[in-house]
C-alpha cells in the first residue's frame, strides 16, 4: 500500500525553514535602507546585520569581525581556496592544495587553484582521513613553491562520519600550512569551536540549519591572513566580499544560528535514539544491508546504507513513491544520481550505490516507523527481483 503523506528524511540536503527564521526573514524584508548608508534607516539595517554576524560567530566560537558573509558555502569555498593570500600588506603564496578524498565537490574542484596544484589524500576503509597519508604528503611538499593548504571537512555529508580535524591541524601547522575546514554538516549537530579545532578558516551554510538558502559564511581565526577577494566592487564585508548585503538572508541566518545552538545535547540524544531504532530494524529486515561508517564516530542524524541488489536511483524512486524523501548522497548535481566518490574512497564498488537517510528537528518516531515499513517492503521486492533474475 502506497501512502500519500510525505515524510522528509533528507535534512543533510537542506533543512526546512524554521518558523523563527521565517518570521525574522519576513520582518527584515520590511526594513528600508542600505547597510552602507549613514542615515537612520541605513544604521538600523546595519545594526541588524551586525547582530546576525555576532550570532553566526557564536555558533563556532569565533569573533564577529572574523565572519564574511557569502552567497553560500560554495562561494565561501571558492573564496578561501586560493593560491593568493595577503599577510597584512604583504603577499603570501600558497603552493599546493591537499584535499581529502571524501570532500564535497565544492572543495574537490579546488577553488582558484589550477588542477595540477590539487592533490587528494586518502581515507581509511572506515571513511576517516588517513593521517599518516596526510603527514607523508606534507613531508614531500616543496615550500619553495609556497605554503601547503589542506582542506578537510569536519563531518562528511554522505556518511556523517566525523573527521580528525584537530589532529590534522597539528600536522598542517607543524609545516607552516593552512587548514580549511568545511563545517557545513557539523554545525547544529555537534559542538563546533574554531579555536579547539585549530582551524584557520571554517565554512558554514545557512540552509543546512534551517536558515534561508543562498547564504553562507567564511569564518577565520584572525584577520591578518586573508585570501585575495573573489568578488570586487564597493568594498562591503571589509573589502573581502563586495556587493550590497543580502540583509534578509543574513538576518535569517543569524536567527538560525541561535536556534541551532539550543538544546544541542538533548537533540543529539533524541536523534541518536531514532537512528538506532532505524538501523536495528534495517539489519533485522535485511541482514545483508551495509551501513557505511557504522564503526566510526558519526553525527547523530545520518544513515548511509547500501542494500545489495538495489540501485541507488531505483531505491530513491521507490522510497519517493512510498512518500519518503531521502537522497542518494550529496544534493549538489541538479537531481543527478551518480556514483559516490565517497564510496570509492572507502574502497567500495561505487556501482553498488547507496542511499542516505538524514534526520532533523521535526523528525518523529512516526516518521521512523514509516521509513522502517517502507524499507521492509522495498527490501522484500528486491529479494523477489534477485530470485527472479
- Which residues carry out catalysis? 332
Look at strands 147-153 and 178-182 and give their pairing: parallel
What three-state secondary structure class fits 195?
Answer: helix
C-alpha distance from residue 276 to each of 66, 294, 303, 387 (Å): 38, 11, 10, 30
Cell 514509516 sits on residue: 370
- Give the separation between CA 329 and CA 12, rounded to whole angstroms: 9
Residues near 35 by beta carbon (within 8 Å), at least 6 away in sequence: 42, 45, 46, 49, 236, 244, 245, 247
By the 8 A CB rule, do 76 and 105 touch? no
Burial of 234 (0-12, 13-18, 19+ CB in 10 A): exposed
Burial of 83 (0-12, 13-18, 19+ CB in 10 A): buried
CA atoms within 13 A on the CB side of 337: 16
- Give the separation between CA 375 and CA 310, rounded to whole angstroms: 12
Amino acid at each position: 500500500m502506497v501512502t500519500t503523506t510525505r515524510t522528509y528524511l533528507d535534512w543533510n540536503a537542506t533543512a526546512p525553514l524554521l518558523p523563527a527564521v521565517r518570521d525574522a526573514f519576513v520582518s527584515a524584508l520590511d526594513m528600508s535602507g542600505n547597510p552602507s548608508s549613514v542615515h537612520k534607516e541605513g544604521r538600523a539595517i546595519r545594526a541588524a546585520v551586525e547582530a546576525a554576524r555576532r550570532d553566526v560567530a557564536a555558533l563556532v566560537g569565533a569573533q564577529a569581525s572574523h565572519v564574511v558573509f557569502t552567497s553560500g558555502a560554495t562561494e565561501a569555498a571558492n573564496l578561501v581556496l586560493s593560491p593568493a593570500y595577503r599577510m597584512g600588506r604583504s603577499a603570501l603564496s600558497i603552493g599546493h592544495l591537499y584535499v581529502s578524498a571524501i570532500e564535497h565537490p565544492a572543495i574537490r574542484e579546488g577553488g582558484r587553484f589550477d588542477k595540477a596544484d590539487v592533490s587528494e589524500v586518502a581515507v581509511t576503509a572506515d571513511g576517516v582521513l588517513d593521517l599518516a597519508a596526510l603527514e607523508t604528503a606534507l613531508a614531500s611538499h616543496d615550500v619553495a613553491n609556497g605554503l601547503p593548504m589542506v582542506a578537510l571537512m569536519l563531518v562528511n555529508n554522505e556518511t556523517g562520519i566525523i573527521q580528525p580535524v584537530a589532529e590534522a591541524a597539528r600536522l598542517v601547522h607543524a609545516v607552516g600550512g593552512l587548514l580549511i575546514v568545511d563545517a557545513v554538516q557539523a554545525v547544529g549537530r555537534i559542538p563546533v569551536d574554531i579555536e579547539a579545532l585549530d582551524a584557520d578558516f571554517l565554512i558554514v551554510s545557512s540552509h543546512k540549519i534551517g536558515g534561508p538558502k543562498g547564504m553562507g559564511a567564511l569564518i577565520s581565526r584572525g584577520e591578518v591572513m586573508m585570501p585575495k577577494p573573489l568578488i570586487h566592487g564597493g568594498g562591503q564585508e571589509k573589502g573581502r566580499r563586495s556587493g550590497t548585503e543580502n540583509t534578509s538572508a543574513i538576518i535569517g541566518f543569524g536567527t538560525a544560528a541561535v536556534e541551532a545552538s539550543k538544546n544541542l545535547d538533548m537533540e543529539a540524544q533524541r536523534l541518536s535514539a531514532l537512528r538506532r531504532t532505524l538501523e536495528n530494524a534495517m539489519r533485522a529486515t535485511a541482514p545483508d544491508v551495509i551501513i557505511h561508517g557504522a564503526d566510526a564516530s558519526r553525527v547523530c542524524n545520518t544513515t548511509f546504507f547500501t542494500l545489495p541488489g538495489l540501485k541507488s536511483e531505483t531505491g530513491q524512486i521507490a522510497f519517493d513513491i512510498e512518500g519518503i524523501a531521502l537522497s542518494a548522497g550529496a544534493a549538489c548535481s541538479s537531481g543527478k544520481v551518480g556514483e559516490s566518490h565517497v564510496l570509492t574512497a572507502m574502497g567500495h564498488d561505487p556501482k553498488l550505490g547507496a542511499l542516505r537517510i538524514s534526520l532533523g528537528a521535526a523528525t518523529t518516531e512516526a516518521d521512523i516507523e514509516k521509513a522502517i515499513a517502507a524499507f521492509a517492503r522495498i527490501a522484500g521486492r528486491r529479494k523477489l527481483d534477485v530470485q527472479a533474475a
